[in-house]
Structure 1
Amino acid sequence: MKNKLLIIGFVWPEPKSSAAGSRMLQLIEQFLNQDFEITFASAAKTSDNTYDLSLLDVRTQSILLNDASFDDFISQLQPDVVLFDRFMVEEQYGWRVAEQCPNALRVLDTEDFHGLRKAREHALKEGVEVTVEHLQNDTTKREIASIYRCDLSLIISEAEIDILTQQFKIDERLLHYLPFLLEPIEEERINNLPTFEERQHFITIGNFLHPPNYDAVLYLKQSIWPLIRPQLPNAELHIYGAYESQKVTQLHKEKDGFLIKGFAECVSDVMQQAKVCLAPLRFGAGLKGKLIDAMQNGTPSVMSSIAAEGMFDNRCKDECHTERSRSVNGFITDDPEAFAQKAVELYTKAEVWKDKQQNGFKVLNHRFDKSNFKDEIAQKIEELRTDLKTHRQKNFIGNILQHQTLQSTKYLSKWIAEKNR
């Protein structure tokens, strides 16, 4: 009899719209390979971009917030493992899972460290460096409480592992590093990619519902593209992303070559047409799917240190000429003038471009080959399920928070449910 996995999604997976959607499909594939029978449940609405999970033989279930019908659903399902897609989902459903299925392993996929992203956003608005005070925000407190309440949290970036263990002293036994899980890029695919001479224009891409992506586009418009365009008057910047709003489309300006292209049906197609990818993110966390897309399609990038964080190692800095930066698929800098200079250099110098392109292929195969991670996570899940009682006894803070949550969140949810009748 197969083991059962219930995934409770913050949203339904949209791999064409966001890196989070691709990440979720990677996790689903991993658990299918571990021979789990999977049910994906979410209270969110589907969209035209929602992936058809039936293609993977994954059962789907619509659920409600603050409604006892979820209790009936999960008590009948009796999953062996429950995966929460982001801490907000664990807050909403974790206490119900603990009540109805106390012996189920509770796993949190953080997607990225939301508290870190919020800290950087606040610091950017204030025009200062990120401080401990910024980091200790309400989002961080909620997220870390969720990490403690779960038996295991999947962390996508080594940099975030460092912050959680060193700054917040979280027991490493509660965390597991699991980056993007990718197929190695093979020589045949590399040889079939468009060459430097066959490509033109710059590209940036990202879901516009994600605040760091909109900020990056605005930063490009105001501070970086005006430095690039005079040097390359025939070059254009193509901006792709799902869910563009009016505040995004109004940035479109053809005479400046600043073109809002909207949703990309096939990211690979548009990325392979471009010569250079620009990713000047000024706040954010986790790993950046746009850089993965660029490397997979042989497109070198110029990126900020925040965009590069965790991608090449866990301490990328604003140093374009260090030994570390020579292994990057482009250049890392936070200075707008240096950013523009490196973008022009990549765009005009074929040898530099080809060298950086090869770096990208090496990074993909060295750091994100799924075969390097699949056995370790499978073993970790099995070990925890085998001795879950002992594992939970060692997580006393988690026991305290679980107890308090069952008292506070439970009765708030019940009050909301009664109010909604």
Structure 2
Amino acid sequence: MQKILIIGYVWAEPGSSAAGSRMLELLTLFRAQGWQVLFASAAALSEHRADLSALQIEEKSIALNCDSFDQFIADYQPDMVLFDRFFTEEQFGWRVEKAWPSALRVLDTSDLHSLRHARHAMLKQAQQACANETERQQLGAVATDFEVAYPLMADDDMAQREIAAIYRCDLTLMISPAEMSLLQQQFGIPAVLLHHCNLMLLRTQTEQTEQTEQTEQTHAPNFAQRQHFLSIGNFRHAPNWDAVLWLKHAIWPRIRQQLPQVQLQVVGAYPPPKATALHNPQQGFQMLGWVPDAHAVMSQARVCLAPLRYGAGIKGKLADAMACGTPSVTTKIGSEGMCGDLPWGGAVAQDVDGIVAAAVNLYLDQAVWQTAQQQGNEILRLCFDRQQSAAELVQRLLVAKQQQAENRQRNFTGAMLRHHLHKSSHYMSQWIAAKNAASAPI
């Protein structure tokens, strides 16, 4: 394999979200193999996007519903095309098949969108039975049992679209082993179409050198050198915003009663006005928004709070917390798929009482805190082995490319879905393109 095309829903922003970090991991790995990589997106250029030129990766802006993409990919002739969301595959997958069918088509889900959507529906349904906002914010996290979520997913348009995209691709990268199990056991997806590729926590060589120098000079702050709580997450990701509201209205007031001098610092990219309006220093609730170095801020906090009531995938914020030696308090949704049978690097609780008790205990008890920190280190060592994950992914991609024709022939469901999507998307896109051309100024 020599040439790779990545089609991103957005430009890679490793400082803004776990999905952005995940994309940079993949880009760094592909370049380390000596592969030529081109990153393309139809999104507007973003201020926080990574400088891919440092990795010698070319960037290209592409347009939706435009035949110019067909010529572009036919000229580039990639060995592999990776779509970073299922709806990116919907938009461009049929064009890739039409213009350059020999390319290995790979889908990277980051998290299973339809699972997150179903769990959100579960929370909203429970909230509808509440009399007021106070009651709604007292509700705990939704259940993680897939047997509860599956009926909602099976009847939902998003799940049908996402599962169809998985079948249409030659290989789908799954970040969570829990979601691998859901796809195979509940949805019957063949194992040959899936590959578990965890967060590899890759850094560029420059970042690794800077991190090593910083560690040697300052060492990681210990229990006594740290203070305050931290909550972090991109505000454009709905589960993160829900977690902030849960903190603001139900969890933080209870913690603050027991620790009146302690602050909660809420960090995240793209905070909307409704988020910044929650800033209240008198209550110890500080909305900091985007910060240039989240690891530096995390390393100064004593405890990370991630009270996620719904969601899916692997939580990059919690992996970052462990990497910074910061114990965390989260829910079963937050820890899902991250530690196997190992004890969590902090505490897992499902309701306000449990989260408050665990947070205060971690903050005050040095022995408990140090044990949690050690448990986090063990999770990173055993569940996030960077070299092993990278090697397994490269090998799986090479094998998938080698067996591409055989696997496609066996995947009749995928061929059938590609046929119907190709027809419907083809004519719809042609209609939009013609409409755009007709309305363009002469």
Using the size of structure 1 for normalisation, the TM-score is 0.94
Amino acid in the other structure paired with 2:54 = L
- Give distance in 2, aligned partners of 1:53 and 1:342: 41
Q: What is the aligned counterpart of 2:252 among 225, 246, 249?
A: 225
Q: Match for residue 425 of structure 2?
A: 409
- Give distance in 1, aligned partners of 2:185 and 2:303: 36
Q: Match for residue 68 of structure 2?
A: 69
Q: Which stretches in structure 1 are left out of the alignment for 5+ residues? A: 314-323
| Residue deviations 1:23-50 (CA, integer Å, cap 9, x gap) | 0010111211222100000000112101
- Give distance in 2, aligned partners of 1:356 and 1:187: 23
- Give distance in 2, aligned partners of 1:338 and 1:25: 36
8 Å contact kept, 1:6–1:38:
yes
Q: How does 1:7-406 map to 2 (within 5 A)?
A: 7-127=6-126, 130-136=148-154, 137-182=156-201, 189=215, 192-313=219-340, 324=341, 327-406=343-422
- Give distance in 2, aligned partners of 1:288 and 1:132: 21
8 Å contact kept, 1:215–1:282:
yes
- Give distance in 2, aligned partners of 1:387 and 1:113: 26
Amino acid in the other structure paired with 1:170 = I
Q: Match for residue 320 of structure 1?
A: none
| Residue deviations 1:219-262 (CA, integer Å, cap 9, x gap) | 01111112111100001110000101111011111111011111
Deviation at 1:132, TM superposition (A): 2.9
- Of the structure 1 ranges 144-153 and 259-268, higher mean CA displacement relative to structure 2 is found in 259-268
8 Å contact kept, 2:178–2:336:
yes
Amino acid in the other structure paired with 2:94 = W
Deviation at 1:133, TM superposition (A): 2.7
Q: Match for residue 319 of structure 1?
A: none
The yes-or-no answer on 1:6 pairing with 2:25 is no
8 Å contact kept, 1:43–1:62:
yes
- Give distance in 1, aligned partners of 2:149 and 2:184: 17
- Give distance in 2, aligned partners of 1:29 and 1:13: 12
Percent identity over the alignment is: 49
Amino acid in the other structure paired with 2:120 = E
- Give distance in 1, aligned partners of 2:212 and 2:186: 42
- Give distance in 2, aligned partners of 1:183 and 1:369: 10
2:376 aligns to what SS in structure 1? helix
- Give distance in 2, aligned partners of 1:309 and 1:187: 30
- Give distance in 2, aligned partners of 1:387 and 1:35: 22
- Give distance in 2, aligned partners of 1:273 and 1:187: 17
1:49 aligns to what SS in structure 2? coil
| Residue deviations 1:120-171 (CA, integer Å, cap 9, x gap) | 0001000176443322211111110000000000000000001000000000
Amino acid in the other structure paired with 1:301 = S
8 Å contact kept, 2:5–2:82:
yes
- Give distance in 2, aligned partners of 1:374 and 1:236: 39
Amino acid in the other structure paired with 1:116 = L
1:392 aligns to what SS in structure 2? helix
Residues 218, 197 of structure 1: alpha-carbon distance in 2 compared, 3 angstrom cutoff: same
1:14 aligns to what SS in structure 2? coil
Deviation at 1:410, TM superposition (A): 1.0
- Give distance in 1, aligned partners of 2:220 and 2:3: 41
Amino acid in the other structure paired with 1:260 = M
- Give distance in 1, aligned partners of 2:26 and 2:313: 16
Residues 93, 329 of structure 1: alpha-carbon distance in 2 compared, 3 angstrom cutoff: same
- Of the structure 1 ranges 356-365 and 233-242, higher mean CA displacement relative to structure 2 is found in 356-365
Aligned-residue CA RMSD (Å): 1.7
8 Å contact kept, 2:119–2:149:
no
8 Å contact kept, 1:87–1:143:
yes
Amino acid in the other structure paired with 2:288 = K
| Count of residues paired in the alignment | 409
- Give distance in 2, aligned partners of 1:170 and 1:344: 43
8 Å contact kept, 1:183–1:369:
no
Q: Which stretches in structure 2 are left out of the alignment for 5+ residues? A: 127-141, 438-442
Runs (4+) of structure 1 moved beyond 2 Å?
A: 128-133, 182-191
8 Å contact kept, 2:40–2:59:
yes
- Give distance in 1, aligned partners of 2:320 and 2:405: 41
Amino acid in the other structure paired with 2:186 = Q
- Give distance in 2, aligned partners of 1:17 and 1:312: 24
Deviation at 1:183, TM superposition (A): 5.4
| Residue deviations 1:51-106 (CA, integer Å, cap 9, x gap) | 11111000111100000010111010000000001101000000000011111100
